[in-house]
Structure 1
Amino acid sequence: MTAPDFEHPDVVLCPGGPMLVRGVQRVQDAEGRVHESVRPVVALCRCHKSARLPWCDGTHKLLPEDARP
């Protein structure tokens, strides 16, 4: 099997936490806004409680375990 001929980011879903994405320069949020990033890895919020959406700010750590993603 050959590698696909397109680039794609690496994605890791952290249990109870954010989605880590490596290799992305732009992220589009649920409202359609585009957010730029120069970081090699970004943490995207999955609990929808971050004060910095779409970025994770660690708020998921304060949630009860059954309310985490």
Structure 2
Amino acid sequence: MAEAKIKVLKDGPYEVHGDVELLDAKRNPIPVTERPFYLCRCGHSANKPFCDGSHKEVGFKANGTS
């Protein structure tokens, strides 16, 4: 199994590498079709929890690294 790594992209999403199982709030699996995958941080994605690039359109600026 590949080690899980999460990279915080500047003013963008979380980039997730490795064998990570993604679960919703009720612990149901969320299918992941691509690796690495990107998780939204800006809150504007139409494809949550995944990033769809909306952070670029809304001018998302992160405070710090999370």
Q: TM-score, normalised by structure 1?
A: 0.70
Structure with the greater alpha carbon radius of gyration: 1
Q: Following superposition of structure 1 onto structure 2, how do residues 15-34 of structure 1 map, counting pairs within 5 Å?
A: 15-29=10-24, 31-32=25-26, 33-34=28-29
Partner of 2:54: 59
How many Å separate the matches in 2 of 1:46 and 1:34?
20
Q: CA deviation at 1:25?
A: 4.3
Structure with more relative contact order (C-alpha pairs < 8 Å, separation 6 or more): 2
How many Å separate the matches in 2 of 1:57 and 1:14?
14
Unaligned runs of 5+ in 1: 1-6
Residue 40 in structure 1 maps to residue 35 in structure 2: yes
Q: Give the count of matched residue pairs.
A: 61
Moved over 3 A (4+): none
Q: Tell me the SS of whatever aligns to 2:22.
A: strand
How many Å separate the matches in 1 of 2:36 and 2:49?
14
More strand by share: 1
